Amino acid sequence: MTGDVNKKSVKKKKEKALIGWREWADLPDFDITGINAKIDTGAKSSAIHAFRIREVVLDGVDHVEFYLHPLQRRKKPEVFCRAPIAGRRVIRSSNGQEEERYVIETRLRVNGRTWKIDLTLTNRDAMGFRLLIGRDALRRKFIVDPGASYLLGPKERE
Task: Characterize the bridge pairing of strands 79-84 and 61-68.
Answer: antiparallel
Q: Is 24 inside any structural domain?
A: yes
Residue 45 counted as domain residue: yes
User: Is 72 a domain residue?
Assistant: yes
User: Would residue 156 count as lying in a domain?
Assistant: no
- Whether residue 84 is contained in a domain is answered as yes
pLDDT of 13 reads 56
Q: Is residue 5 part of a domain?
A: no
Given a cut of 90, is residue 24 above it in pLDDT?
yes
What integer pLDDT is reported at residue 155 of this predicted model? 67
Q: Residue 32 in contact with residue 79, Cβ under 8 Å?
A: yes
Nearest to 135 by CA among 26, 37, 40: 40
- Three state DSSP letters for the chain: CCCCCCHHHHCCCCCCEEEECEEEEEEHHHCEEEEEEEEECCCCCEEEECEEEEEEEECCEEEEEEEECCCCCCCCCCEEEEEECCEEEEEECCCCCEEEEEEEEEEEEECCEEEEEEEEEECCCCCCCCEEEEHHHHCCCEEEECCCCCCCCCCCCC
CA 40 from chain center: how many Å?
10
- pLDDT of residue 131 exceeding 60: yes
pLDDT reading at 118 higher than 50: yes
Residue 153 forms part of a structural domain: no
Question: Looking at the domain assignment, is residue 83 inside a domain?
Answer: yes
User: Residue 154's pLDDT band (boundaries 50, 70, 90)?
Assistant: confident
**How many CB atoms are closer than 10 A to CB 26?**
20
- Alpha-carbon gap, residue 15 to 100, rounded angstroms: 36
CATH number at residue 49: 2.40.70.10
Q: What is the average pLDDT across 143-156?
A: 85
For the segment 59-88, what is each residue's pLDDT rounded down to a tens digit? Answer: 999 999 999 987 777 778 889 999 999 999
- Top mean-pLDDT range of 8-12, 52-56, 71-75: 52-56
| pLDDT greater than 80 at residue 157 | no
Domain count, the chain: 1
By residue range, what is the domain housing residue 40? 17-142
Among the residue ranges 46-60, 109-123, 140-154, the one predicted with the least confidence is 140-154
Which pLDDT score, from 0 to 100, does residue 70 have?
79
